[in-house]
Amino acid sequence: MSGFFCFVAMEIRAVILDLDGTLVDTSSEIALALDTTFSELGLASLPRGNVEALIGRGVRSLVERALIQVGAPAQDVDAAVERFEHHYARILGTQARLFPRALEGLRALHAAGIRMSVVTNKPRYFTQRLLQRLGVEAFFAGFVAGDDGIARKPHGDMLLAACRIMGVGIESALMIGDSDNDVRAARAAGCAIWCVPYGYNEGRGPETLACDRMVATLEEAAELITGKLDPGPSPQQRRPG
């Protein structure tokens, strides 16, 4: 599906946003919480880049894969997750920042009457607290989180749940994310997917993302959606291969 097709064949009434790596840069806090956890457990720390590549599948997956990387696969994962969540809760929102032009994008979409929601594999408590601390919770009709009991991304169920919250059909929604997880979830749900190039994507480059369009910022996405920016003759991001 091309970006041009999205404009011609559908009216975007709602936007579903990924959180970590798309809306908010959370990597410094996650890396610090993981480093503190591993230090407490007597384990080596991971470089920041390695931690960023682990973001996106939820807390347990992040901790479990991090333990494997430092050569401690036999470590009690439940105990490590508990300590990570303890440390993360303590620093949440102290270093995390909205990505550049993200706030402007949210304001533009809100002003245009576009409904918005967040879909993330992050636990609900952390998600809500982070949005509150960054002062952007009010922009969203709601959010769907990783511990809501819904099949997580890359399944499409969370996106469908977000559309129910926003009161729109999935065919009128656009997903904006930063990873293959987001692309696969959008394809499974049946909605268009745009990606930003600055996210985590599990350490892979943005050129690997089989999205409908690549947008430099959320503000650019908002300008395209609201018609303030010409989409151009060939805006699509083709599937690799």
Neighbours of 35 (CB within 10 A): 18
Catalytic residue among 18, 20, 178, 180: 18
Question: Strand runs (DSSP E) across the chain, as ranges?
Answer: 14-17, 24-25, 97-98, 115-119, 142-144, 173-177, 192-195, 213-214
Task: Mark whether 20 is an active-site residue.
Answer: no
β-sheet bridge partners, residue 200: none
Owner of token pair 């994962």:
77
| Structure tokens that stand for 5 in this block | 């097709």
Task: Give the integer Cα–Cα distance in Å for 118 and 120.
Answer: 6
Task: Report the alpha-carbon distance of residue 202 to residue 51 in Å, rounded.
Answer: 9
Backbone angles phi, psi at 193, to 5 degrees: -135, 125
In whole angstroms, give the CA distance from residue 52 to residue 63.
12
Is 37 within 8 Å of 29 (Cβ atoms)?
Answer: no
Query: CA angle, 202 as apex, 159 and 217 as ends, to 5°?
Result: 65
The residues assigned a catalytic role are: 18
